[in-house]
Amino acid sequence: MTPEDLLARLAAQEDAFVERKSQGIGAHDIRKAVTAFANSLPEGQHGVVFIGVGDKGTVEGCDNTDVVQKRVRAACGDCYPALTPQTVVLNVGGKGVVAVVVGASADRPHFTGPAYVRQGSESVRASRTLFEAMVDARHSTVAAIQRLIGQPITVIGVGHRMGQLVHVQGDYRESAECKVTACDAHMVTFLRLNDSWEFYEPVSRIEVSRDGRMKRPALVVRG
């Protein structure tokens, strides 16, 4: 975006593409604003965070625009995956305003901090490859389960009693005709059809399968 485009945005009211912040904005709030734009903007659109401007549009300026730009770069480098927005210094009535220009990201979702995994006895920052694999695995399972909401399915417990978090020793196995009534990234809500009993299972324990005998989808819950 050109400086003229940015000045026009600054003069307009705050909307879905513009946010105004004072020069004292902290690193967490920078990451919050930037990731929100990167995760939400339509393809080809840009959002702008103006630093040195009050909520009502009053230009306060920044005492040191170089320091503010460095703070923005450092904060965005700690987003996960990292973001590298463009920063432009505008002169508005003799006061310096830093415009942080954020485009729609092909790497979304972005988070305001890193993901961690266990490596031996330590918690370490997940690599980009591992992070993407975890996101893909979670979303593919959740999406598959969400497509089953409202239809009769077979739920199979292997080494697991439905609705309980304890592991059952031996070759324990049970099954029931159920419906999925809700599913988010963490938990699936089931309704057992023969007695209308509602129970919950963690997504992490569920595998998507198929009941060949009944010719319908099945979810396997492992203890």
- Among 21-35, 86-100, 128-142, the least confident range: 128-142
| Model pLDDT for residues 168-202, shown as the tens digit of each residue | 878 899 999 999 999 888 899 999 999 999 999 99
- Going 156 to 158 to 164 to 170, the CA torsion angle's sign is positive
Q: Report the C-alpha gap between 56 and 143 in whole angstroms.
A: 41
- Domain extents for the chain? 3-103, 143-222
| Model pLDDT for residues 26-73, shown as the tens digit of each residue | 999 999 999 999 999 988 899 999 999 998 889 999 999 999 999 999
Q: Which residues contact 220 (CB under 8 A, 6 or more apart)?
A: 156, 158, 206, 207, 209
- What is the pLDDT averaged over residues 114-120? 84
Does residue 212 sit in helix, strand or coil? coil
- Domain 3-103 belongs in CATH node 3.30.950.30: yes
Q: What is the pTM of this model?
A: 0.60
- The reported pLDDT for the residue numbered 155 is 97
- Proportion of the chain in helix, strand, coil states, percent, rounded to 5: 25, 40, 35
Other beta carbons within 10 Å of 138: 14
From residue 45, alpha-carbon distances to 98, 104, 105 in Å are 19, 6, 10
Does residue 36 sit in helix, strand or coil? helix
Instruction: Say yes or no: do domains 3-103 and 143-222 share a fold.
Output: no
- The reported pLDDT for the residue numbered 14 is 76
Look at the domain 143-222 and name its fold: SH3 type barrels. (2.30.30)
